[in-house]
Amino acid sequence: MSRVLLPRLNVCWMAVLVLAHLAVASAARAHTCSEVKTAFQLRQIGPVKWVPEAPATDANLLVCKHAGPSCCNRKMEESYKVAALRDTVQNIKSYTFELKYLLSSHAAAFHDTYQSLFTFSQGHLLSLFESTYTSLSGRIAPHVNSLFSSLSTFIQDTSNTSVDATVYRFYDDLFMLVHNHIIRPGTLEDSDLSECLRATRQDVNPFGRHAQAMVEELAGAMEAARTLTRAFSMGENLMNITEMAPLTNECKRALLKMQYCPHCQGLTLIRPCLEFCLNVMRGCLANVAELDMPWRQYVAILEDLTHKVAGEHSLELALLGVKSHVNDAILHAQLQEPRISATVDKVCGQSVTEMQTAHPNTARMISSATLGPEPTTNQSDSNIGKQLERLSHLHSSLPLKPNKHNKDRSLKEISREFIKYIVRYKAFFAALPEMLCEGEVVRDEPTCWSGNDVVESYKGRVVGNGLLAQRKNPEVKVKVPDVQLAEIKERLEHFNQETQQRMPGLGHRDSWEDLGSGEDSSGECDDEDGCQGSGEGTTKSSNTDSSVDTEVVVKSPPHKAPVGRFKPDRSSAPHLVLSSFTTLILILGQLWTLN
């Protein structure tokens, strides 16, 4: 009997030793900071040597305070704060980069298309002189180049010269050449006469209404394109200032509390509650949210400007009309030759000419063969119009759409693509806190971090966007407006107002009352508005829009213990030991039964 019991007792003692070892090992792991150390290293927060091997009670923390031992110390807490700030700034930049790239890439696309149109129209006009007015082709090129160079700098917003002044200066130079080589071919070059012709062009009016018609057709389209260039620059500058705006110390403390304070309790996998995150982000971005109203109006202006530039090929048609206007202006001057000659002789004096046989005039021969006898000075404008209609076959046309061999896109295509994307960002500044929280929150988790402990749902008040709403924010205290953001907001509002004054009708919508930032004029937020986090419900951004859904639904999942939870105030060793002894008793009972 004793021989049989002895081996069985040895087996029992071995089982007891194994279970005791497992219990001690489990208890030791529960009281170590190994998981915190791993996360500290993987996230590159600081030197791993700062992380203690086991939780301590003398951490002397400033933000991540809690009852019981902690895996954090002051050095770690400061590093966590830097890491939280770094992560948030990177996330903000990732969103602003998308919008900034959208603006900059389409600004470049519009610019390249403008330059292609200028180049084509410039060559188009030069071809008129090379084929029809050959006596002017060698002398007109510098003036044509100057015309389109000035228009290009105007549209890039780098010139103070108006479209009117640019076009009229071109016609001043053109009048001098037309007089010397078409109306009075062979006129000797004389600086005094040339200056007199340029100075008196407006009074002599050799080109009729064609110069004014060209100005009217170009000015509107060019002004819209120039304003669009300014708008793109304004938007890019706004994005740069937004992503570089400093976050306050209160915000940094809240970010630390939300993102890394759970690590001090061993909770490396727990995620913040959605409502808690919204309060933190809305508090941190309260000044940014103030840009919402002027930004929405700015986006509306961008839409209307692109329509104005590209709609019905307005700029393309305006540049196409340059050649037609110049040709009609020269023909008009030929028809008015007697009156122009008499006026010039009276104002500038008799011009000295060489023998006409030495300077044959190709343009005169072409126009004479087409027109027949030249009209007298008392010919009516209606007769002149009839004569010009007979020359319509001389006009060429600008291809409005790229052909198969042209890879350049038209303004219409670029405009359509840009509007398609930019309207998605009209609620950008109101939705930015929600977008940032999307990356912080895991919606299907049953529990979340409330700032102090693990809970099933956040019980605090959820505030809206804007400075007024932050008076009730339980997580972040917003004291004063940010100077940089207040300044850029004022600049954006000024740009919107100035654009609408200069170009009435742009950016106006039926109502802007429902698009303001903040919750309401008083900054209050009632439970009926969906601002109270009460487990299951709906949290809505106060900035709502019919086409942009910024609604966030928060549901309370069933209870489940958080993963990786470390509770220093509830020692798990006694429970593990008790469980081990219970298992041991069961094993001994089974062995005794077998005996």
What percent of the chain has a predicted confidence (pLDDT) above 90? 48
Are 316 and 197 members of one domain?
Answer: yes
Tell me the mean pLDDT in the region 369-375: 35
What are 420-442's pLDDT values in tens digits? 999 999 999 999 999 999 888 87
* Beta-bridge partner residues of 461: 532
Q: Are 461 and 530 part of one and the same domain?
A: yes
How distant, in Å, are the alpha carbons of 78, 114, 411, 452 from that of 319?
Answer: 62, 10, 13, 66
Question: Do residues 487 and 550 both lie within one domain?
Answer: yes
Residue 190 · residue 350 · CB < 8 Å: no
Identify whether 283 is part of a domain: yes
Q: Looking at residue 509, what is its pLDDT?
A: 67
| Distance, CA of 439 to CA of 552 (rounded, Å) | 13
**Average predicted confidence (pLDDT) for the chain:** 76
Angstrom CA distances, 29 to 35, 73, 167, 183, stand at 10, 20, 83, 103
CA 502 to chain centre: 23
pLDDT the model gives residue 111: 94
135 shares its domain with 194:
yes
For 524, the 3-state DSSP assignment is coil
List beta partners, residue 70: 56
Which residue type is seen at 522? Answer: S
Are the beta carbons of 225 and 411 closer than 8 angstroms?
no
- pLDDT level of residue 558 (50, 70, 90 thresholds): very low
Residue 405 lies in a domain: no
Better pLDDT: 171 or 189: 171
Q: Do 550 and 470 sit in the same domain of this protein?
A: yes
Residues 431 and 463 in one domain: yes
3-state secondary structure 445-514: CCCEECCCCEECCCCCECCCCCCHHHHHCCCCCCCCCCHHHHHHHHHHHHHHHHHHHHCCCCCCCCCCHH
For residue 239, is it within any domain?
yes
Instruction: Taking residues 461-483, report their average pLDDT.
Output: 92
Please indicate, yes or no, if residue 111 is contained in any of the structural domains: no
Residue 469 predicted with pLDDT over 90: yes
| Any domain includes 112 | no
CB 325 within 8 A of CB 214: yes
Which has the minimum average pLDDT: 14-18, 23-27, 264-268, 411-415? 23-27
Residues 129-160 have pLDDT tens digits of 999 999 998 899 999 999 999 999 999 988 78
Query: Do 126 and 162 lie in a common domain?
Result: yes
Ranges assigned E (strand) in 256-307:
none
| Nearest one of 394, 401, 307 to 116, comparing CA atoms | 401
305 with 387, same domain: the answer is: no
125-130 mean pLDDT? 94
Neighbouring C-alpha atoms within 13 Å toward the C-beta of 564: 18
Reported pTM: 0.71
Which structure tokens are listed for 353? 């000419």
Assess whether 236 and 299 both reside in one domain. Answer: yes
Residue 161: CB atoms within 10 A of its CB come to: 12
In a domain, 583, yes or no: yes
Residue 110 domain flag: no
The answer to whether residues 207 and 236 belong to one domain is: no
Q: Which domain holds residue 10?
A: 2-73+572-594
Do 214 and 328 lie in one domain? The reply is yes
Q: Are strands 454-455 and 448-449 parallel, antiparallel or unpaired?
A: antiparallel
Does 348 map to a domain? yes
pLDDT at position 352 is 58
Which of 398, 419, 440 is at the close of a domain?
398
Indicate whether 436 and 546 sit together in one domain.
Answer: yes
Question: Does residue 386 sit in helix, strand or coil?
Answer: helix
Measured CA to CA, the distance from residue 429 to residue 247 in angstroms comes to 16
Domains contained in the chain, number = 3
C-alpha distances in Å from residue 546, one per residue of 95, 423, 426, 477, 541: 22, 12, 11, 31, 13
Most confident of 58-72, 393-407, 500-514, 553-567: 58-72
